[in-house]
Chain A
Amino acid sequence: MKLAYWMYAGPAHIGTLRIASSFNNVHAIMHAPLGDDYFNVMRSMLERERNYTPVTASIVDRNVLARGSQEKVVDNIVRKDREETPDLIVLTPTCTSSILQEDLQNFVERARMDAKGDVMLADVNHYRVNELQAADRTLQQIVQFYLEKARKKGELPEGKTEKPSVNIIGLTTLGFHNNHDCTELKRLMGDLGIEVNQVIPDGASVHNLKTLPRAWFNLVPYREVGLMAAQYLETEFGMPYVGITPMGIVETARCIRKIQQVLNAQGAQVDYEDFIDTQTRFVSQAAWFSRSIDCQNLTGKKAVVFGDNTHAAAITKILAREMGIHVVLAGTYCKYDADWFREQVSEYCDQVLISDDNAQIGDAIARLEPSAIFGTQMERHVGKRLDIPCGVIAAPIHIQNFPVGYKPFVGYEGANQIVDLVYNSFTLGMEDHLLEIFGGHDTKEVITKGISAESDLNWTKEAQAELNKVPGFVRGKVKRNTEKFARDRGIAQISLEVMYAAKEAVGA
């Protein structure tokens, strides 16, 4: 047992559901107790999704506990198949259902006989993998399922596309700025003259998966999701993949050079050096920023970085290499992939922290006293408590991290966005210090607020206490309305009763 207040990565089934619901017309059925379907809430709320989340639960209740699911799961799969005719139904175990050790594979086999669409069981162990690992595995599983199916039917398309083309793998629903990153990556590929064969899983159709091998290579922008699928495609179809996250000016260039190498190895004869140079020096603002006086002022400032592997590693490199900021600590909660992280950031920071215990990270931040933090929502709250500004760079995230405006993290526009994020975090911190030194803003305090600030009315102790319970931002209004009510009726003493009578009368 572990005492936990907060977790960075969710349970495994969330990863599976993120993949399933990213595809078009794929439905997930969770074998879960009542209330475990809050994934739908998260998707509907955070992503402001207009469509019903294609996830339902086959409820595990007392009866299931006593007698097993029996026909229930099969019936639910077949029913959903009829109702919505999805291309694929993914049966998703949860941590509760995995202890029941029911033969879910058998349910899937039986449901397959009656369902028109495909049915599969997500192969994830809830006690061994987290959300990210499960997402990676589920995506690979679905890709493999459809490629093997196509191969068996002899439907695998032959050869490559005429022009160089790419599959972008790993963009999912509820991923950090994934939708903006997707647009930016497509634009980048367009600029490079590379056709986008497919983007998976976001918005993809499982029927098109068989054309994946037609692309010249695969691009996996995130370390956490998509690697397994890319590695599968490499072993089965000899497709090379590029696993460099194009985040920050230097890494974007490195990613593009790798793409160039991969394409030229297949006879494309492309040269992207001019493109990289123009983008870096004249189009993107990030490189120029690093030379500007603003950025000079950031030199040697201390920062702490924490997040998932992709974002924490990329931001660490950007801060240290592109802005001259002193990264005192870089950390990740992807413990299962810690070696990769260490190897990526070791030369760019003083100290590496691999942990999913937020207290440990909070303590480290308090001890190091950086001028800015780049982390998850949790680090933002640590920052609030310690009065240190924080830029959010990775999940877990809140609704404000699903901006409506265009805010990619990858590519050249992504580099611009990151500059803003970093710069704003630090200047805010500076302003704060200056204000502290000079004793606050140089403005006169507002002494009166409205007409009835000077009160001739008495509040009883109880009423005063009750008033103090009213949240600060409406307290003044409640007070004024109550006193107005009392004055209108010639009441001199405001008691609890008067207070509530006033509320009833005027909705104070």
Chain B
Amino acid sequence: MTVAQEPQALTFECETGNYHTFCPISCVAWLYQKIEDSFFLVIGTKTCGYFLQNAMGVMIFAEPRYAMAELEEGDISAQLNDYEELKRLCLQIKRDRNPSVIVWIGTCTTEIIKMDLEGLAPKLEGELGIPIVVARANGLDYAFTQGEDTVLAAMAARCPSQTPVAEGEKSDRNAIQKLLNFGKKKEEVVQEESEYRDHPPLVLFGSLPDPVVTQLTLELKKQGIKVSGWLPAKRYTELPVIEEGYYVAGVNPFLSRTATTLMRRRKCKLIGAPFPIGPDGTRAWIEKICSVFNIEPQGLAEREQQIWESLEDYLQIIRGKTVFFMGDNLLEISQARFLIRCGMIVPEIGIPYMDKRYQGAELALLEKTCQEMGTPLPKIIEKPDNYNQLQRIHEMQPDLVITGMAHANPLEARGINTKWSVEFTFAQIHGFTNARDILELVTRPLRRNNSLKDLGWDKLVKEDAKV
């Protein structure tokens, strides 16, 4: 690629929004697994159902706790009563699965026909005796991972606002409950508590696999910071207490609505930090939390250094290579920042939606990273146009394109390496421990090339690059 003179600040552009991404209802696929006592009901059409069925592949066969409320012609033309219909289906779900919460996912169709889900839910909730949370995760307004954002924003309103006095079930991860449980293992608890510094309660938000939750919690514990709760928790019944004045921090870049809700509705203080993706991001994330609590971080620099050293074999593969983000899951800024730190060059970051306030610290770190690494600042393209992007890709021939599945095989057939962006959404990529996993994914196509080089068949279409 041609390197022009270094721009002074990040540039933001906005294209047509003709790009490929997953529908935000896909969030049910990972959220139903995360929240073990939930049931997700997607109120939409065959199109939504077909998407989930195909996008989530084999997962749907393991008796999923999600289903479609498939709208029929009578629902669209209001010949059927929405309330009665939903009541019938939810009763069936209650009977068959007995969940602790039913999450209604509103779709494009419920938006267009203006089905008042928020109005129907409280009424039905009363009749049914099961909480009903409404999230409008539709393709009219949102892209892919933003679906989780709408669900968590709705969940934030359901978090208890006071520490419960009596405690029935005990979870080993919920620190507040641990505090109250003086009965058993007293010494151990007291000893554990003393490891924490005195700071206001901190609640983290963002759905992560349980092992990653454990890892990040331990990482903060090393700094004497206690995580008093996590939104979402393993079970709906274990949603964390959120009182006015609590501190909150996001772990993923696509949670701006949740952040806003926690600040405005729950009167929490948001710690705006880069996201714990890559060792640089993780360190910056912890440092920012420490600084807010006036804690001097311990041993972070060494720890980051250690991680970088352990990544050296992978870094050698990618250093100096260019990577192009087509954009579809909003993790792009953090990933690009990490890969630039790894020595890669990023000409373009496509991203569905850019919240410059919520991602402020991350953007600042991106800029700083570019300056420190002496690489040109990437162009950030909001609402990209895939067609135009493909023209740019064919022109600049990057070493790697991070893209959705729709373009991966055609690009590969034209000799351009790709990595499916969706994998980053499902892989464990947060914290120090998982930095290697990100690079495992990023380097896979390049390592594949090492094993296949010299075979002479890297271009597998006849005429060249007609998009």
Please indicate the chain B residues that have their CB under 8 angstroms from the CB of A62 in the complex: 140-141
Q: Please encode chain A, from 22 to 61, with 1 for each CB lying within 8 Å of some chain B CB and 0 for all others.
A: 0000000000111111101110110011111100111111
Please indicate the chain B residues that have their CB under 8 angstroms from the CB of A35 in the complex: 21-25, 51, 139, 143-144
Check if A41 sits within 8 Å of B406, measured CB to CB.
Answer: yes
- A5 at interface by CB-CB < 8 Å: yes
Q: Which of A3, A44, A61, A126 is the one whose CB lies under 8 Å from B406?
A: A44
- A84 at interface by CB-CB < 8 Å: yes
Please indicate the chain A residues that have their CB under 8 angstroms from the CB of B406 in the complex: 37-38, 40-41, 44, 53
> Which one, B211-219, B236-244, B269-277, is touching chain A?
B211-219
Given contacts A40-B20, A59-B18, A96-B112, contact A3 B410 (CB under 8 A): no
> Which one, A255-263, A334-342, A500-508, is touching chain B?
A500-508
Q: Which of A412-447 contact B (CB under 8 A)?
A: none
Q: Which of B22, B73, B310 is the one whose CB lies under 8 Å from A505?
A: B310
Please indicate the chain A residues that have their CB under 8 angstroms from the CB of B43 in the complex: 1
Q: Quick one: closest A residue to B66, CB to CB?
A: A5
Check if B307 sits within 8 Å of A44, measured CB to CB.
Answer: no
Given contacts A38-B23, A44-B408, contact A4 B49 (CB under 8 A): yes
> Which one, B84-92, B163-171, B339-347, B448-456, is touching chain A?
B84-92
Q: Which of A48, A99, A500, A504 is the one whose CB lies under 8 Å from B113?
A: A99
- B285 at interface by CB-CB < 8 Å: no
Cα separation A32 to B50 with both chains bound (whole Å)? 15
> Which one, A9-17, A157-165, A226-234, A282-290, is touching chain B?
A9-17
Please indicate the chain B residues that have their CB under 8 angstroms from the CB of A32 in the complex: 139
Check if A504 sits within 8 Å of B436, measured CB to CB.
Answer: yes
Q: Which of B18, B53, B109, B111 is the one whose CB lies under 8 Å from A7?
A: B53
**Closest Cβ–Cβ distance, residue A30 to chain B (whole Å):** 10
Q: Please encode chain A, from 53 to 82, with 1 for each CB lying within 8 Å of some chain B CB and 0 for all others.
A: 100111111100100000000001000000
Cα separation A443 to B404 with both chains bound (whole Å)? 46
Q: Please encode chain A, from 481 to 501, with 1 for each CB lying within 8 Å of some chain B CB and 0 for all others.
A: 000000000000000110010
Cα separation A82 to B322 with both chains bound (whole Å)? 31
Residue from the set A4, A52, A57, A95 with the largest chain B CB neighbour count within 10 Å: A52
**Closest Cβ–Cβ distance, residue A97 to chain B (whole Å):** 9
Cα separation A294 to B177 with both chains bound (whole Å)? 65
Residue from the set A50, A83, A496, A504 with the largest chain B CB neighbour count within 10 Å: A504
Interface residues on A, range: 35 or more
**Closest Cβ–Cβ distance, residue B358 to chain A (whole Å):** 20
Given contacts A5-B68, A35-B24, contact A48 B409 (CB under 8 A): yes
**Closest Cβ–Cβ distance, residue B3 to chain A (whole Å):** 29
Please indicate the chain B residues that have their CB under 8 angstroms from the CB of A504 in the complex: 306-307, 310, 432-433, 436
Please indicate the chain A residues that have their CB under 8 angstroms from the CB of B69 in the complex: 1-3
Q: Quick one: closest A residue to B435, CB to CB?
A: A504
Cα separation A238 to B59 with both chains bound (whole Å)? 50
> Residues of B at under 8 Å CB distance from A?
17-18, 20-25, 43, 45-47, 49-51, 53-55, 57-58, 60-61, 64, 66-73, 75-76, 80, 85-86, 88-89, 92-93, 108-109, 111-113, 138-144, 172, 210-211, 214-215, 218, 306-307, 310, 387, 390, 404-410, 413, 432-433, 436, 460-461, 466-467
Query: Given A6-B60, A95-B47, A496-B214, 16 more contacts at CB 8 Å?
Result: A2-B70, A3-B68, A11-B47, A33-B138, A37-B406, A38-B23, A40-B20, A41-B55, A41-B404, A44-B406, A51-B461, A61-B141, A76-B18, A95-B46, A381-B61, A500-B215
